[in-house]
């Protein structure tokens, strides 16, 4: 994996992680086109650079993270369902990650659903932009579990979970960003632990690549978050629905055309 390939994947990660379009699906296409999908380091890289992406949330919303202890309780409560399911069904989830068809189908189904989300939850937009209470946070956390199915999109699942709790699109998206911090931080730490337990380690070149990837993912994610909030508030989810459908179809076309697609 060279520096250019690392930059491309970091940009993909930064753009797609917080948008409801599935970073998993985009990583499949990106790594396959680059011809590095089977590289073991790439599999580690795509998880570890999530740290840069979540750091962008902390920087953009730093005042919220120092607002009150109750804020952290809500995040912890929302994080619990994914943490439990991840520990109990981690091996099964890894098997799903290898199934490109699952990713494509989930992208398509999720895209179709996003075409109707704005109408379904239209009344929410008359509510004030407030954070969910503890009970609602837990329910949003249950929706996050659904996102363990590759292609669903963690962002899409948690935002929709927020909408079911009568949050506005803006409030639901922001809580989705906040919930990403403990969730993705835990995933990154777990990946690093498994790497060091296997005595694999990283070379000096690997560390350089990881550093560059995290910096790029951080910068791009900041821009993506700012764009997404503004766009979502004004225009809703429909465009993202159409986009998901297109990406799902592209993956299916690539797969049935015989292109070797590997989950990273």
| φ, ψ dihedrals at 60, nearest 5° | -70, -35
Give dist(CA 220, CA 65) in Å, integer.
21
User: Which stretch of 24-28, 135-139, 204-208 has the lowest confidence by average pLDDT?
Assistant: 24-28
Give dist(CA 156, CA 162) in Å, integer.
10
Let me know the angle formed at the C-alpha of 136 by 135 and 140, rounded to the nearest 5 degrees. 120
Average pLDDT over residues 196-220: 89
Residue 257 burial by Cβ neighbours in a 10 Å radius (0-12, 13-18, 19+): exposed
CA distances from 160 to 70, 86, 169, 208, 226 (A): 23, 21, 9, 37, 19
**The pLDDT of residue 32 is above 90:** no
pLDDT tens profile 48-81: 999 999 999 999 999 999 888 999 999 999 999 9
Average pLDDT over residues 174-195: 89
117 CA to centre of own chain: 19
User: Which stretch of 80-84, 152-156, 189-193, 213-217 has the lowest confidence by average pLDDT?
Assistant: 189-193
Give dist(CA 202, CA 212) in Å, integer.
14
Three-state SS at 88: helix
Q: Are 51 and 214 in contact (CB under 8 A)?
A: yes
Residues 50, 55, 57, 60: is their CA dihedral positive or negative?
negative
More confident position, 48 or 38: 48
Residue 98 pLDDT: 65
CA distances from 73 to 68, 70, 86, 173 (A): 9, 5, 20, 18
For residue 222 the two structure tokens come to 């900041």
Residue 116 pLDDT: 97
Residue 97 pLDDT: 67
More confident position, 96 or 195: 195
Residue ranges of domains in the chain: 3-256
Who's near 216: CB < 8 A, 6+ residues apart?
A: 7, 10, 11, 14, 49, 52
CA distances from 71 to 3, 131, 157, 160, 164 (A): 38, 9, 20, 20, 20
């Amino acid at each position: 994996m060279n520096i250019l390939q690392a930059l491309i994947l970091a940009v993909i990660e930064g753009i797609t992680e917080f948008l409801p379009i599935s970073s998993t699906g985009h990583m499949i296409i990106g790594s396959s086109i680059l011809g590095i999908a089977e590289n073991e380091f790439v599999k580690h890289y795509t998880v570890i650079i999530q740290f840069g992406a979540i750091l962008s949330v902390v920087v953009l919303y730093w005042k919220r993270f120092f607002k009150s202890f109750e804020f952290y309780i809500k995040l912890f409560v929302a994080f619990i369902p994914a943490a439990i399911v991840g520990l109990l069904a981690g091996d099964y989830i890894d098997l799903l990650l290898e199934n490109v068809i699952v990713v494509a189908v989930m992208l398509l189904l999720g895209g179709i659903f996003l075409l109707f989300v704005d109408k379904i939850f239209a009344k929410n937009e008359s509510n004030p932009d407030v954070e969910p209470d503890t009970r609602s946070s837990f329910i949003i956390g249950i929706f996050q579990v659904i996102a363990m199915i590759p292609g669903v999109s963690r962002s899409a699942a948690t935002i929709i979970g927020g909408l079911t709790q009568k949050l506005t699109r803006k409030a639901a998206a922001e809580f989705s960003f906040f919930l990403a911090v403990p969730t993705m931080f835990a995933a990154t730490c777990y990946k690093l632990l498994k790497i060091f337990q296997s005595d694999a380690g990283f070379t000096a070149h690997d560390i350089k690549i990881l550093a560059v990837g995290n910096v790029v993912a951080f910068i791009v994610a900041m821009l993506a978050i700012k764009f997404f909030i503004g766009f979502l508030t004004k225009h809703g989810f429909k465009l993202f629905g159409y986009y998901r459908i297109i990406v799902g179809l592209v993956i299916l076309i690539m797969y049935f055309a015989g292109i070797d697609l590997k989950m990273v």
